[in-house]
Amino acid sequence: MTTTSASVRTSAPAARRAPALGTLGLFTVLLGAALPLIDFFIVNVALPSIDHDLAAGPALLELVVAGYGLSYSVLLVLGGRLGDLFGRRRLFLAGMAAFGLTSLACGLAPDAWTLVAARVAQGAAAALMLPQVLATIHSSTEGPRRARALSLYGATAGLAMAGGQILGGVLVTADIAGTGWRAVFLVNVPVAVAGLVLALRSVPETRSDRPAPVDVPGTLLLALALLALLAPLTEGRAAGWPLWTWVSLVVFPFAAAAFWWVERRADRRGATPLVPPSLLALVPLRRGLVVVLPLSLGFSGFMFVMAVALQQGLAMGAVASGLALVPMALAFFGASLAGPRLVRRWGTRIVPVGALLQGLGVGAIAWAVGHDWQGLSVGDLVPGMAVAGLGQGLQLPVLFRVVLSEVPSERAGVGSGVMVTTQQSALTLGVATLGSLFLSLAASPADMGGALRTTLLVQLGVVVLTLLLSLRLPRTVK
């Protein structure tokens, strides 16, 4: 505790000397936060069109989604470390430029394998850009302004995840200039150009006062551990669970144990590991991450199964299935904006309240699905979607604040990298686990109602776990 307190005291003057992040700068970094999350979800509604145009097949379609998620998850902590080392504004600009170029490559891909390669590169670009957002906010704001910025970050994340599928449906249906599915990637290019111009004018440069070199052994072992877990879970079902998937899952615990041993050894030698064990010793960070994991897992799984069930089970169009998510997105946004005021009055107790509301919303959706699946309309989903979105909006932004509340400014990049890695890995796991459960139960469109209801009940169990874990959060948050 003494070391941690000293670190916080040492970093305080540096935090005060850092340039302030203005309104335009905050808008710009939030734009950078939205793009990677939108692209994780936007491709879901475009997969049938990609399959038709490129003759991709199920395995390659899985790779279009999983390739992005895997490279994104694996490189996030490294992206945060590089921002601490070379400057967060510089890495944000590099990531934004690379994201625009790789999006262009996705949109122009002539075949499925080229698209997969471009998506992997796009995920790597996102991993450079996204950790700089929270690190910049953490190191260039303080007090109520930081609380407001983190709430807006949470609102942006929620809207991006819900809005990605809505936007994807609109773009695919509009078929702008005959681009079809390619528009979901090409739309990023002008946005990235605008982001670069705005960032050059409005985002201050920040970096760690004591930058550390890249921890090569830790980086390689973390990459191995994440790949060993996520690759078989995301690709196993489509590939028929071949031998490599089981070998990979066996490798995961050993790779994770080796990573932790190397990090602890580096910490004891006075080196700076990729994920310092002392950072994970911070109670708010550790307990906050434990809650972020099931919350994000359930959210991404929910989004995936709803998109598939509504489009394939009820033959709703991409736009109609996207409209079903609008009440959730609006309620999430409203709750996120109210978050700072509620936290000042009630502290982190609003997180379990949010989990309770989310559970009621998911339960209402499951009831509507079971009551009349064939006659289900978008209007029948509105109450459950709105209540679930309200509950999620009371949780996610507050959890971001909890996780980063005691992280010293010189470790802002590492702290934000650890948090977004946890979130992104959970998003990937949600699609892999709840998505696989749903698809295994839905052998035909006629089975999708029952499969969706069962999956929603499983997610309800995940929400209950989130509620129980949130009771262990610190009562107050900075």
Question: What string of DSSP letters covers 344-404?
Answer: HHHGGGHHHHHHHHHHHHHHHHHHHHHH-STT--HHHHHHHHHHHHHHHHHHHHHHHHHHH
- The whole-angstrom separation of Cα 339 and Cα 19 is 26
Helix and strand element counts for the chain (H, E): 19, 0
Structure tokens, 362: 């998911």
Confidence (pLDDT) at 185: 92
Which CA distances in Å does 52 have to 56, 168, 169? 8, 16, 16
Write out residues in the chain with pLDDT < 50, as ranges. 1-16
Which amino acid does the sequence have at 215? D
Residue range 140-174, pLDDT digits in tens = 888 788 878 887 887 787 778 777 777 887 888 78
Confidence (pLDDT) at 6: 38
Residue range 268-298, pLDDT digits in tens = 887 778 788 878 888 888 899 999 999 989 8
Confidence (pLDDT) at 193: 96
Residue with tokens 């400014």: 409
pTM (2 d.p.): 0.79
Residue range 443-464, pLDDT digits in tens = 777 778 888 999 999 999 999 9
Confidence (pLDDT) at 58: 67
